[in-house]
Structure 1
Amino acid sequence: MSAHPALSAKRPILLIEDEPSVIAFLHAALERRGYAVVDAASGEEGLKRLSKGRYAGVISDIRMPGSVNGAEVHDWVQKNRPELKSRIILISGDTANSETQTFLAQSGTPCIEKPFRVQQLIATVEKTFGKP
């Protein structure tokens, strides 16, 4: 079932984040700019949604409680959703962490550091996913 190219612009962004306050902030900021957003409160939920749906891109926190973190979401996308390979943005509250730094350096994936401003987020989203 292939979507019509014009319709694919309406695909939502999948937001994978465990902090309700951050979800609310990101959701509001993105929707104000005209993006559709689907939330997932954990890496596991994010992978479930990714395996069932089609998305314009993925924004995922790197560090999340549970068995699936942002790096694993990223790896899953590389293997299973090649069309989203260059459409991932990671959010990190601990880029000083050497594991996180190594992962980001190897993946080349854009990362937004917490705390961030809406403008910074939107600029990265538009550059990575395109304008809505």
Structure 2
Amino acid sequence: IPEEKVIKPVPLTPAVQEMEGARILVIDDEDSVRKILYQMLKAKGYQVVVASSGEEGIERFKQEPFDLVFTDLGMPRMSGWEVGKALKEIDPKVPIALITGWGVELNREKMKETGIDLVVSKPFSFDEVVRLVSEAMELKERI
């Protein structure tokens, strides 16, 4: 086969390479949301850890490294805003995605001061979650 006819694999960008084995923490008080996100992310080959409260999520975050965190906005005892702020104090380089079902227009200033980098609205699709992880990995490269 002539050299010019051989199809060579395109090298992966660092963000895409990192994405393949990304460690993702999902913090949500709703079992159904945790399970759906877990299954979506596992299907793409990510390593996924789940926590059912902000406090549990923060403890897990302190114990092991993560590449991305999904946190629900409306949880008992500790909101997603508070979780985001606490996690950024521990590691400011990890992107944090806020999950919201409230359909509210999120204040950019509040997002910035609480460490929220990305937002995903419920209900979300598989494609939206995959796109968000990709955005988060690119963002992590720049942080």
Work out whether the TM-score is over 0.5: yes
The match for 2:26 is 15
The match for 2:37 is 26
Is residue 133 of structure 2 the alignment partner of residue 125 of structure 1? yes
> What amino acid sits opposite 1:72 in the alignment?
E
Residue 34 of structure 1: how far off its partner (Å):
0.7
Unpaired runs of 5+ residues, structure 2, are: 1-16, 139-143
The match for 2:14 is none
State which drifts further: 11-20 or 31-40: 11-20
**What CA distance in whole angstroms lies between the structure 2 residues aligned with 1:26 and 1:78?**
22
Q: Structure 1-normalised TM-score? A: 0.79
**Larger Rg, first or second structure (1 or 2):** 2
The match for 2:92 is 82
The match for 1:114 is 122
State which drifts further: 38-47 or 73-82: 73-82
> What amino acid sits opposite 2:132 in the alignment?
T
Among all aligned residue pairs of Structure 1 and Structure 2, give the percentage whose two residues are the same amino acid: 31
Residue 9 of structure 1: how far off its partner (Å):
6.7
**What CA distance in whole angstroms lies between the structure 2 residues aligned with 1:76 and 1:25?**
25
Q: For this pair of structures, how many residues does the alignment match?
A: 117
Alignment of 1:92-111 (within 5 A): 92-96=100-104, 101-102=106-107, 105-106=108-109, 107-108=111-112, 109-111=117-119
In the alignment, is the contact (CA less than 8 A) between 1:15 and 1:23 conserved in 2? yes
Unpaired runs of 5+ residues, structure 1, are: 1-5
> What amino acid sits opposite 2:53 in the alignment?
S
Is residue 79 of structure 2 the alignment partner of residue 69 of structure 1? yes
Residue 83 of structure 1: how far off its partner (Å):
2.1
In the alignment, is the contact (CA less than 8 A) between 1:11 and 1:54 conserved in 2? no
**What CA distance in whole angstroms lies between the structure 2 residues aligned with 1:19 and 1:94?**
14
**What CA distance in whole angstroms lies between the structure 2 residues aligned with 1:10 and 1:30?**
11
C-alpha offsets along residues 57-86 of structure 1, whole Å, 9 cap, x if unaligned?
101111111x221111111122221221xx
